Amino acid sequence: MIAQNVMQTLAQKIIARAAGRQSVVPGEIVTCALDLALMHDSGGPRRVKPMLEKLGAKVWDPEKIVVITDHYLPANNEESRNIIRIAREWVKEAGVTRFHDGIGICHVVLPQKGYLRPGMFAVGGDSHSPTGGAFGAYMFGIGATEMLGVLVTGEIWLKVPHTILVEWHGSLSTAVSAKDMMLALCAKLGLDGGQYQAIQYCGDTVARLSMQERMTLCNMTPEVGAQTGLIAPDQVTAAYLESVGVVGIDTAKWQTDPGAPILAQHLFSADKLEPQVAAPHSPANAGPVSVHRGTKINTAYIGACTGAKIEDLRMAARVLKGKHAASHVRFVVAPASAQDQKMAEEEGTLKILVAAGAELLGNSCGICAGYGDDRLSENEVAITSTARNFKGRMGPGSSQVYLASPYTVAASAIKGEIADPREMLHD
């Protein structure tokens, strides 16, 4: 029997609700009811449709399923056209109405459509599904076979995780962002430092971050090997949700109790954080930009759910305004969603990027996921705002990918080599 009124972390509270329990204990295995299941075209319908047909099974609740096409776009060959066609046909067959076709990357579109809220228990068919944790939702990635079980039963078993606190205090300096915070964490913890537990980001630095910057933190939690990343909801959360039509949110309910069990705590000073760059071929190879300053590049890429949201585009524009990318650099921008691209166009941000020489790509995963005609070439050296730089992910194994914030990518595009953005925003 689990004791009542025990101190619980945010992760425990969400899991307990999903399991129909008063409380849960780290390490025990529980069965949880899903509030939402997210799939995209790559790992979604084309994978689960034949398995469902083989079982003769139907989905448990079409209203709790979201499907977003974002990987195989633009569909410019027979394979990609077939994959997109399967997704479009399947949502009609299954009765899924929450279908968003070609309007952006799933992890950005999902909150823009108002599907997330504090206390939700959700899964996604993609490793960066913990982005939902920025809204106080417990969300993590699963494979196609597990997704099949979710679609049929509406449930999934879970080993209750321990919580690791990552606490940031102080103010970020000019040209330093959440991406730099996350790369610094990758350097400290490594690819498996999260131990497949739940990381909760906290501290006054995190409290001051906007929702899209919080999304960047939670999005990259898998890069340190945690199951999910969480940020307790507050007025910033409530204000964003109200802007997308979600009202009446109780943020006070979804907080970690004082004295709740914590596996580990990592303290960071935002005041001392410099722009970070991760060398090939791991986010854990991160360090101050000065370590790699002067490294020649061929490509500068602002893209992905981690690095091409409206706030990311604004960061790049701050650096690029009145400047132009170096003549030998291919400068590529793929806004994360159609909504963010429209906003960037209306406010003039997109005009600055284009004037600086940006080549605009579609609102899709594109180069980040290794799809399409714009992948990196043999021996190409790129600096990108993406979440990962694993060998061969964005092009041939000979390509070299450095990770950085949009600020640093933009500064490097101008210089034609890895550069410190603070020098261009010193005022």
Q: At what angle do helices 310-320 and 211-219 cross, to 10 degrees?
A: 100
User: pLDDT confidence of 3, banded at 50, 70, 90?
Assistant: very low
- Burial of 353-375, coded b for 16+ CB within 10 Å and e otherwise, reads beebbbeebbbbbbbbbebbebb
Rg (CA), the chain: 21
* Residue-wise pLDDT tens digits, 220-235: 999 999 999 999 999 9
Q: What type of residue is 176?
A: V
User: pLDDT confidence of 260, banded at 50, 70, 90?
Assistant: very high
* Residue-wise pLDDT tens digits, 193-251: 999 999 999 999 999 999 999 999 999 999 999 999 999 999 999 999 999 999 999 99
- Greatest distance between any 2 Cα atoms in the chain: 68
Q: What is the mean pLDDT of the chain?
A: 96
Query: Left (φ > 0), alpha (ψ -120 to 50) or beta: where does 245 sit?
Result: left
The residue-averaged pLDDT of 290-313 equals 98
Is residue 131 pLDDT above 80, yes or no?
yes
Alpha helices in 135-250 (DSSP H): 144-153, 178-189, 204-208, 211-219, 235-243
% of the chain with per-residue pLDDT over 70: 98
User: pLDDT confidence of 372, banded at 50, 70, 90?
Assistant: confident
What is the reported pTM? Answer: 0.97
Question: Could you identify the residue written with the tokens 């689990």?
Answer: 2
What is the distance between the alpha carbons of residues 49 and 44, in angstroms, rounded to a whole number? 8
Is residue 347 pLDDT above 70, yes or no?
yes
What is the distance between the alpha carbons of residues 361 and 367, in angstroms, rounded to a whole number? 10
The Cα-based distances of 162 to 27, 184, 258, 267, 424 in angstroms read 7, 22, 15, 18, 42
Is residue 427 pLDDT above 60, yes or no?
no
Looking at residue 426, what is its pLDDT? 65
Q: DSSP states of 330-390 as a string? A: EEEE--SBHHHHHHHHHHTHHHHHHHTTPEE--SS-GGGGT-STTPPPTT-EEEE-SS---
* Residue-wise pLDDT tens digits, 10-39: 999 999 999 999 999 999 999 999 999 999
Looking at residue 2, what is its pLDDT? 44
The residue-averaged pLDDT of 246-275 equals 96
Domains of the chain: 12-159 (3.30.499.10), 163-271 (3.40.1060.10), 277-423 (3.30.499.10)
* Residue-wise pLDDT tens digits, 50-60: 999 999 999 99
